[in-house]
Structure 1
Amino acid sequence: MPLERSPPPPLTTPLTPTTLFSTPQPLYTPHCSSEPNLNANMISPPSNMSPAITFRNINIKRKRSDDEENCLSTFMTDLRVMFNDLKQQQEDKYNMLFSKMDELRVTFDMMSEKLNNLTSRVEHLESERGESMSYIATLETKIENMEQGSRSTCLEIRNIPVEKTENKTTLLKTVLDTSKIIKCEMNSYDIKDIFRIKSKDPAHKTMIVNFTTVLRKEEFLEKYRKHNMNSFKLTTEHLKIGGPAKPIFISENLSSRNKRLFFLARGVANTNNYKFCWVKHGKIFVREKEGSKHIHVKTEADLSLLAKTII
């Protein structure tokens, strides 16, 4: 679009001061940049001129007063002070945070060192505990062997009713009568001691027979087993004891630990189809079938391994 404008039409009336200010004429203004405040730069017209016409004072410029300069200077000063204060506060906070981080780092290092020391001590104690447990197990085995060894000449006879006037003499007679039935020649001097111990049924307390030698004990037990296998099961009726006939059981006198182990071994043998489970010389054995190798059960751990093997 062209920036030049067409010139105004020629005046029909001569331009004189009278005609200029008496008759309104269109004012021609060349293109230029406008002032921000046109009203402030306008010159009031002379009194004899029309009030609709104003003239622009090009030479007058708006000047900044001293109060404005002072206010601006004060504002800038306050702004600088505010920023300096904010900067100082931020620096103080950062310094405090760095100080706390240093303290935490020192504390963490100390805790880490203590943790390492505790870990070393725990490992040392675990090692000592393992050695102690091994030593305790060894002592328990020795005590168990000693306890079972002290019972090496003893047998248990169960299911014989308790008599009201019972004493060691009557008990000895019962044992000797039993030896005659199972055809095991025995005299009173072959028995060192005989007594009863507590059991679940007070009317049928277990009888403990302590022989003078292990050989005599083994002979008596072997005769009993052969008699039950080849002849008839021994009962209270054969000993002429009143009341209904009850089977008589004779076995080795085991320690408390071995009794529990034997009980568990019988359960595992039945569950895993083992055909034989027996005790000999205070030791527990199992065998899967005829002709297979016997297995010596020493601890409960042997039973768990035994069960896993069958599975």
Structure 2
Amino acid sequence: MIGSLVFNSSSFAKRVFRCSSLEAVAPLFATIISRLYSNVEKVNEDVKSNTTIVNEIDTEVGTLFKRIVELETRLENQEQYSRRTSLRFHNIRVPIDPRTGKIPHPINTDIYILQVCNSKLGLNLTVNDIGRSHVIGKVKNGKSQVIVRFLSYRTRSKVYTNKKALKGDADGIFITENLTQYRTGLTQKLSDLKYNHKIFAYWTSDGRIFAKTTEKGTKKLIKNYDDITALETTTDDDNQQQEPDLSPGTTNQNSDENHNNGTY
């Protein structure tokens, strides 16, 4: 900037060459330096002002981000709560059209659900206990997943509590809670940890997810992936002695605590 002011000014050059001593040039340089100093001070003030504005914006963005996280959490909790009367029945045998290899529609899945609940779980349900049921997902080896919405939470709780009767079922039928996509991802991650001996057990209850790192350890509520990361970093010699998970489809791993306690 000094070079621009000094050497690009023909009038300044002429005045310098007219001076016969350093004393004559000094006041001119002092004037230039004073002006430059004023400019620098102004720039510094602008920088400080802009820095303050940026900090205020960062604070506001941080506040808004926290608010978004809170709203997303409330929305996710509400979505899970809306599923409180639903369950998923896995490996249900369904009719297949031999020509297309697909399920013929319409199909009365209520019948298959009642057969499982009454014949295998020892319950006494009727079609009046079911609000709606339908196949979900792809068919594999003549079996599919059926999602069921019961008319009352009590009926749903009764079915889920008695699901232990399906252990060792010849068709491999098992029942899980109807979790949101986010919570399903959490249980899949926990399943991997269980298989790799990083945790002892995990299970779900009323849409909530719990896990233990050891058999006698304290159960931990899993709300997000940060909670799972905390489990992964837990070191315990007992974790290295667990058997591999032979039934990755079930959310009740080595635990009898998978039950409904009437709360959410």
Name the TM-score, length of structure 1 as normaliser: 0.60
Residue 198 of structure 2 aligns with an amino acid whose one-letter code is N
Aligned-partner SS, 1:309: coil
Q: Tell me the residue number matched to 1:127.
A: 59
Question: Cα RMSD between the aligned structures?
Answer: 2.8
Residues 209-236 of structure 1: CA distance to partner in whole angstroms, max 9, x if unpaired?
A: 00111221122122222331xxx3241x
Is 2:74 the partner of 1:142? yes
Q: Tell me the residue number matched to 1:258.
A: 183
Count of residue correspondences: 213
Residues 201-257 of structure 1: CA distance to partner in whole angstroms, max 9, x if unpaired?
A: 6976532100111221122122222331xxx3241xxxxxxxxxxx23321000011
Query: Counting strand residues as a fraction of each chain, which structure ranks higher?
Result: 2
- CA distance in structure 2 between the aligned counterparts of 1:271 and 1:143, rounded to whole angstroms: 32
Larger Rg: 1
Residue 154 of structure 2 aligns with an amino acid whose one-letter code is L
Judged with a 3 Å threshold, the aligned counterparts in structure 2 of structure 1 residues 294 and 218 are, in CA distance, closer, same or farther, namely: same
Contact 2:86 2:149 in 1 (8 A): yes
Contact 1:269 1:286 in 2 (8 A): no
Residue 259 of structure 1 aligns with an amino acid whose one-letter code is T
Is 2:83 the partner of 1:151? yes
Aligned-partner SS, 1:186: coil
Judged with a 3 Å threshold, the aligned counterparts in structure 2 of structure 1 residues 213 and 85 are, in CA distance, closer, same or farther, namely: closer
Residues 162-194 of structure 1: CA distance to partner in whole angstroms, max 9, x if unpaired?
A: 53334352x111111111222222110111011
Gaps of 5+ in 1: 1-83, 236-246
- CA distance in structure 2 between the aligned counterparts of 1:160 and 1:104, rounded to whole angstroms: 83
Judged with a 3 Å threshold, the aligned counterparts in structure 2 of structure 1 residues 140 and 121 are, in CA distance, closer, same or farther, namely: same
- CA distance in structure 1 between the aligned counterparts of 2:175 and 2:156, rounded to whole angstroms: 11
Judged with a 3 Å threshold, the aligned counterparts in structure 2 of structure 1 residues 92 and 265 are, in CA distance, closer, same or farther, namely: farther
Greater relative contact order, per chain length (Cα 8 Å cut-off, separation 6+): 2
- CA distance in structure 2 between the aligned counterparts of 1:263 and 1:281, rounded to whole angstroms: 17
Gaps of 5+ in 2: 1-15, 97-102, 237-264
Contact 1:191 1:212 in 2 (8 A): yes
- CA distance in structure 2 between the aligned counterparts of 1:153 and 1:85, rounded to whole angstroms: 96
Contact 1:254 1:282 in 2 (8 A): yes
Q: Tell me the residue number matched to 2:41.
A: 109
Contact 1:196 1:207 in 2 (8 A): yes
Q: 1:178 aligns with which of 111, 116, 119?
A: 116
- CA distance in structure 2 between the aligned counterparts of 1:98 and 1:204, rounded to whole angstroms: 92
Contact 1:252 1:282 in 2 (8 A): yes
Judged with a 3 Å threshold, the aligned counterparts in structure 2 of structure 1 residues 161 and 113 are, in CA distance, closer, same or farther, namely: farther
Q: Tell me the residue number matched to 1:244.
A: none
Contact 2:136 2:146 in 1 (8 A): yes
Residues 136-160 of structure 1: CA distance to partner in whole angstroms, max 9, x if unpaired?
A: 1211111111100001111112333
Is 2:131 the partner of 1:192? yes
Residue 107 of structure 1 aligns with an amino acid whose one-letter code is N
- CA distance in structure 1 between the aligned counterparts of 2:25 and 2:93, rounded to whole angstroms: 93
Contact 1:160 1:248 in 2 (8 A): yes
Residues 96-117 of structure 1: CA distance to partner in whole angstroms, max 9, x if unpaired?
A: 5434433332222112111111
